[in-house]
Structure 1
Amino acid sequence: MAAGIVNIRRDVDDKFYRYRMPVLLTKIEGKGNGIKTVIPNMSDVARALSRPPTYTTKFFGCELGAQTSFDEKNDRYIVNGAHDAIRLRELLDGFIDKFVLCRSCKNPETDLIILKSGRTEDIVRDCKACGERTGVDMRHKLTTFIVKNPPKNPKKSKKNAKGEANGNGGGVHASAPDVPGDDENDGDDGGESDDELTKKIKAEAADLNTETKLAKEDWSADTSAEAVKARVKALEGSVAGLSLTPAGGLGDDDSDEDADSPYAQFGRWVEENRDDDDIGAVQIYKKAQEFGVEKKHKTVLVLVQALFTEDVVKEIETYKALLAKMVTSEKHQKALLGGIERLVGLTHPELIPSVPKILMALYQTDIIEEEVVMQWGTHVSKKYVDKEVSKKVRKASEPFLKWLEEADDDESDDEE
């Protein structure tokens, strides 16, 4: 039985909307008290939503007050009683809103995660597009079923093979062509040990209380290419890798759904403490060091999203010493720009017209290099956001890129 295709968010009329699913089909079987509604393409619909078909079927039962049954082996999903397709499609919209769409960006590219705290269990939607984690209404009856039947992680079985092939410890989308493994090419060329660096940072931080003092310190003394490579190499065995997906998902070696990965913990800490006047750049760096990720380029991606707000231009000036300390290679610069893409494209789309100012602030503080930003600005990518958002951000960057080109032309004329 053929089914049409509709947008997952049926309130979106855009025919080029990237998230699509089959139209839900129904078939009435039986008579009298034995009448039931079979959903022949439930698996296809659920697969498009990245949810088990048992969840959607059970949701219908909860909403209709009807018994449900499912035979996963034979791909058969049933709701007792006679229910027309229109009614079930309306209920499916409710399921999508409550258990699929990110509450922050309304993107359906989410995973369900069960977080346990003592005897309490909460279900959250982990958005791979904007990085936000938003809770579901735990009062809904379906949540009991989900907790008892937690979502499986089919990605795990593929991780090891993909991780070895790509050198990045796995990840859902290993197709991102220009995302290298977690510093896989960083060799051990010498430099001080991480223990020595720890002692030095702690000693320096003891006398620093404000960002002003931080900016005056010579933090660049121990960030030579050789020293950075050596320290990153030393950390590879103990720090979980973070995989970046085309939709912007974050994961780690153990699980893409691990809320306790060092990156997730660091990001949450920064977001929770960024408005605290007693928390400055030094404390943020020390916290990254506590999690063992202070030199990872993926940490920069997390930092940008967790630290910056709509006042990002001013905040770049405030935290320029921290950025200079953490952005030490081309990889770090690309991760920084990826974080900016998410910040302005997803979290604060009102900032898109301010992209030239943001890039100028980063460029004038020597955080990003001309070659890196020029390459970024002329190559649309869906690594961190979807392609349409990527186009908008890069389109907005054109005045800055043009300024760079003209500055180069002026320098060439002067040399002649």
Structure 2
Amino acid sequence: MAAGIVNIRRDVDDKFYRYRMPLLLTKIEGKGNGIKTVIPNMSDVARALSRPPTYPTKFFGSELGAQTSVDEKNDRYIVNGAHDATRLRELLDGFIDKFVLCGACKNPETDLVLTKGEIIVRDCKACGERTNVDMRHKLTTYIVKNPPKKTKKGKKGGHAEAPTTGTPPEPAADGENAEGGGEDGAGSDDELTRRIKAEAEQLNKDTTLEDEGWSADTSPEAVKARMEALAQGMTGVSVGAGADDEDEDEDADSPYAVLGRWVAENRSASAVDVFKKVQELGIEKKHKAVQVLAERLFTEQVVNEIPKYQAVFVKMVSGEKHQKALLGGIEKLAGYDHPELVATIPKILMAFYQADVLDEEVIQAWGTHVSKKYVDKETSKRVRKASEPFLKWLEEADDGEDE
């Protein structure tokens, strides 16, 4: 029997909603103390959610107080006891809300990422935000011990086993159309898929912080606008670095100076606004832009501000050079602009480390080598001296993973 297709968010009453999944099916087997509920299409449902099928199965068990059985080889997912489909569908809605939907925009196009601090976050591909999962739920213990499999090497962490969020399931083997197709004139699953893809293509053009949306607009009008913005740059704020930055443009009208002034004058700007400004200036891939943001974007409340803007750094920091530039910006922020922040250097490093923006090896190399690239030698020593508690914590964490 073919499963019907429903919206991933069942509270959305829109037959053209982009994100779809098979309707969860159940089958009662056994009797007496051996009665159990088999979920025959759990793999298909999990694939549509981009989550391993073990996660919703274990979620059902924790919510129902029931034992679960998982046989991935034979594609069997079982919850002990007799549970009707309606109840399990309601629980699946809860799983989706807690472990799939973005906490900011409620879009299901997310990956689960386990940070180095063993905090589970939902990394949203639609709005760019990273929102924490409620670590009080019992399922989080299982996820920490069985993290999502990494499908590619990168800073953003692993992806769940299912590669595509919201992809409709394959048509039934017997040729029957899935529910939600014929009644509204959609026809077969193939026609429904084509319609969803067409709508998704249009939505991607308008969705803020989509992967494709992070690229700079290179149209003649956009280039002209950027040039005019540079030509009208105000004098005043310098974002100069140390003597080793001879390859960077320190002119008051450089894009880096313009960026530094803009973030200083727009403290209420969101992460989206900041990245759009970086794009407008055409420097979203430049390590110097990362350094300027680290120095100028934050205030003395930097520890509380990092979560607000971490999506920008996750997107822009793509290599060791970018990480070094970020650390350089932190040196200038604490060493020159806000000396009172020197004591909080360990907290600042921890925040970027747990967000998977800074790598352990880069931090350790930075912490043990004084440099005059961004600040004077004495300031560099003072900042690195303050970082020693965090560096020691990294060493101890290497010696014993439990710590």
TM-score by length of 1: 0.43
TM-score by length of 2: 0.44
Q: Which has the higher contact order (CA 8 A, sep 6+)?
A: 2
